[in-house]
Structure 1
Amino acid sequence: MKKVYGADELRAAIANGELVNYYQPKVVVATGEVVGVETLVRWRHPQDGMVFPDQFIGVAEAHGLIDVLTRVVLTGALAQAKVWQDAGWVLRVAVNLSMVSLTSLDFPDFVAGLAAQAGVPPQGLVLEVTESRLMQDLRAPLEILTRLRLKRFRLSIDDFGTGHSSLTQLHDLPFDELKIDQSFVHSAWTNETLRAMYDASLGLARQLGIEVVAEGVEDRADWNFLRRTGCDLAQGYFIARPMPAADFPGWMEDWQDRVSSGLTAND
């Protein structure tokens, strides 16, 4: 059973700098080019070790800590994006948003201010929103998302396929990217039901002109499947596990070697 953490513990962890960002790469399926990363926050607990977000995000939302948590994650991600930018790596850095953040009319200006302070252009930041939670009530989030899009931030709908959104709903939302949930990607090439869900998601994104990311790419067979079906981007353990920013240059060298060895060659 996973340990449940209290608000006071989380508040202290934020104050003590125990929250750290890990990054998982996104790559172009056709070429292997690394075009972005997803930011995944971790709690480096002094006694319990690495604590994953499903054990503390709900606490932050329930106890009014999500704004400060979002600031910590965004500030760290934007600072890292600037470091990569200065090193010549133009990477879109994605950050997951809580639905609580999408109820504040001040949120778009808040994000724009952080990006400007960091020296990162809005197009370099991707804001991810989980489909299942977004579909519960679109009224307030739609206005906030539209304001973010007008400020030229990129928007992504995460875990697609789990929230049962319709074509009409998606047409009204200003998304640039659709991420097919990992449960419909891994081994979809062996399962007719998963393949149908994957194909439907890919086709829907194509109709709307949205870039498609397949999550949960676990092995070479998954990768080859994405290549055959023409998916745009891929993310998953076959490419890389989430890593500290310090490990990114070494991984980049290894990934370029894998690509050079024939990873993107035609079958």
Structure 2
Amino acid sequence: MNTLRILVLEDHAFQRTAAVSALNSLGYKNIFQAADGKDALAVISQAGGVDVALCDLSMAGMDGLTFLRLAREAGLIRAVIICSSLPEDLLRTVDRIVTLQGLELLGSVGKPLMVDVLAPLLARYRPHNQIDAKVAESQLDQPTEGEVLEAIRRQEFRAYFQPKFHLRSGEVDGAEVLVRWQSPSRGLLSPGMFLPTIERCGLLDEMFFSLLTQGLSLQRFVQSHGKPFKLAFNLDVTQMANPNLVDRIKALLRIHGASPAGLIFELTETGLLQMPEISMENMVRLRMLGFSLAIDDFGVGYSSLERLCQMPFNEIKLDAGFVQNFHQARYSAVIHGALALARELDMRVVAEGIETADQVQHLARLGCQWGQGFFYARPMNWAHLVDWRFEGQKSSWRRAIGTSDR
């Protein structure tokens, strides 16, 4: 018998009975029932809380939305399955509300509730002691400031490069520069394992200029063999407030004999609304020198269209979430709108997170020209990229999307 404690909140008696029957057939016996939100709060309060709530939304009295908010504030539920016949656009918004409340969303289902649909959703539930253990483990794994400073001194932060490519021809015009930590004791670490410490200790500039130095060395090598290769580097909005930022970048370019036209700096949309005056001054200085500026993860932040018009960006990085949900009409419409906006503003669009040939073909049909993602190439180190750049990557690309040279 499964020990999961489950609440069925449903105002229709027949639907409620059907849900309980489905749960019983799956081996769940610790089931609590309620016909409206007020009754549900009383039931689960007396029971000391439940693991999962199967929750209807539209009910007389206290509706499902109010119940979820109050139950979460009281710590009485941990995960939710939405059971509703509401239109898809409303359910998407409800899913977002549940996530923002900090609840684990197992999924949304229609009515009547079917056993074969319910079973895999309940299988997704993870007891909170497992989640807490993973959180604690990740916190313990975070390096100290001393470890990070030593890694910078020993040049253990390595530049990795993910190519940007033309969606129709497979032509590569450059790459985004990402960071990995090649730790002697921990192995190769992704940014999530060390960036929080980097940010907390104010070491973003040290890491950025290390990556810029590595990237410029690679760029000079590739371009010396007749291959143009633009590089894009991520900058945090807080770094743009550094009055010495532009001068330090210029000095490094002089050392490497590099041109500003070959570099793009990407800023995430989050933080643009509160950007101080000095940051905007630096953006203008970079553009005046010939650098390009891209707004990263476009569509997931809170910057207004007016703010986008005010900032001197000339490239939009379309967030991967839109690309991976392109089959949904609303997401496809947003992609189409972003492309139209970019054309009117004379900005290039690069779609992020491309993982399938269907995504490539759909984006190309909508008029998107450039993209990046695991479908074409994963981030790779200096040596791997050089081998890849000079070894028939176009033919492998054409095989992948089923096209041929003309």
Same fold (TM over 0.5): yes
Residue 135 of structure 1 contacts residue 163 of structure 1 at CA under 8 Å; is this kept in 2? no
Task: State the number of aligned residues.
Answer: 265
The separation in 2 between residues aligned to 1:131 and 1:265, in whole angstroms, is: 38
Matched, 1:171 2:315: no
1:34-73 maps to which residues of 2 (within 5 A)? 34-73=172-211
Query: Cα deviation per residue 1:128-181 (whole Å; 9 max; x = unaligned)?
Result: 111113234353321111111111111111110111322221111111110000
Q: Partner of 2:294: helix, strand, or coil?
A: strand
Q: 1:213 to 1:130 in 2, by over 3 A?
A: same
Residue 376 of structure 2 contacts residue 397 of structure 2 at CA under 8 Å; is this kept in 1? no
Deviation at 1:30, TM superposition (A): 2.9
Question: Which of 187, 195, 199 does residue 332 from structure 2 map onto?
Answer: 195
One-letter amino acid of the structure 2 residue matched with residue 216 of structure 1: G
Matched, 1:111 2:249: yes
Greater mean alpha carbon deviation, residues 32-41 or residues 94-103? 94-103
Question: Which of 315, 319, 323 does residue 185 from structure 1 map onto?
Answer: 323
One-letter amino acid of the structure 1 residue matched with residue 334 of structure 2: M
Deviation at 1:263, TM superposition (A): 4.6
Question: Which of 100, 125, 128 does residue 263 from structure 2 map onto?
Answer: 125
Q: Partner of 2:324: helix, strand, or coil?
A: coil
Deviation at 1:86, TM superposition (A): 0.9
Question: Which of 153, 170, 181 does residue 15 from structure 1 map onto?
Answer: 153
Q: TM-score, normalised by structure 1?
A: 0.93
Name which one, 1 or 2, has greater alpha-carbon Rg. Answer: 2
Query: Cα deviation per residue 1:72-121 (whole Å; 9 max; x = unaligned)?
Result: 11111111111111121111011111223211122111111111211110
Unaligned stretches of 5+ residues in structure 2: 1-133
Q: Which residue of 2 aligns with 1:134?
A: 272
The separation in 2 between residues aligned to 1:242 and 1:44, in whole angstroms, is: 14
Deviation at 1:202, TM superposition (A): 1.8
Deviation at 1:205, TM superposition (A): 1.3
The separation in 2 between residues aligned to 1:166 and 1:20, in whole angstroms, is: 35
Greater mean alpha carbon deviation, residues 160-169 or residues 122-131? 160-169
Q: Which residue of 2 aligns with 1:85?
A: 223
Query: Cα deviation per residue 1:11-46 (whole Å; 9 max; x = unaligned)?
Result: 011111111011000011232110010000100112
Q: Which residue of 2 aligns with 1:146?
A: 284
Matched, 1:220 2:349: no
One-letter amino acid of the structure 1 residue matched with residue 196 of structure 2: G
Unaligned stretches of 5+ residues in structure 1: none
Deviation at 1:203, TM superposition (A): 2.1
Q: Which residue of 1 aligns with 2:382?
A: 245
The separation in 1 between residues aligned to 2:318 and 2:403, in whole angstroms, is: 21
Query: Cα deviation per residue 1:203-231 (whole Å; 9 max; x = unaligned)?
Result: 22122110000001001111111111110
Residue 319 of structure 2 contacts residue 353 of structure 2 at CA under 8 Å; is this kept in 1? yes
Q: Which residue of 1 aligns with 2:347?
A: 210
Q: Partner of 1:135: helix, strand, or coil?
A: helix
The separation in 2 between residues aligned to 1:134 and 1:254, in whole angstroms, is: 40
* Percent identity between the two aligned chains: 35
Q: TM-score, normalised by structure 2?
A: 0.62
Q: Partner of 2:290: helix, strand, or coil?
A: coil
Residue 134 of structure 1 contacts residue 141 of structure 1 at CA under 8 Å; is this kept in 2? no
Q: Which structure would you say has the larger RCO, counting Cα contacts within 8 Å and 6 or more residues apart? A: 1
Deviation at 1:254, TM superposition (A): 4.2
One-letter amino acid of the structure 1 residue matched with residue 371 of structure 2: A
One-letter amino acid of the structure 2 residue matched with residue 242 of structure 1: P
Residue 187 of structure 1 contacts residue 222 of structure 1 at CA under 8 Å; is this kept in 2? no
Deviation at 1:265, TM superposition (A): 5.9
Matched, 1:236 2:361: no
Deviation at 1:69, TM superposition (A): 1.3
Deviation at 1:62, TM superposition (A): 2.1
CA RMSD of the aligned region, Å?
A: 1.8
Q: Partner of 2:388: helix, strand, or coil?
A: helix
The separation in 1 between residues aligned to 2:230 and 2:294, in whole angstroms, is: 12
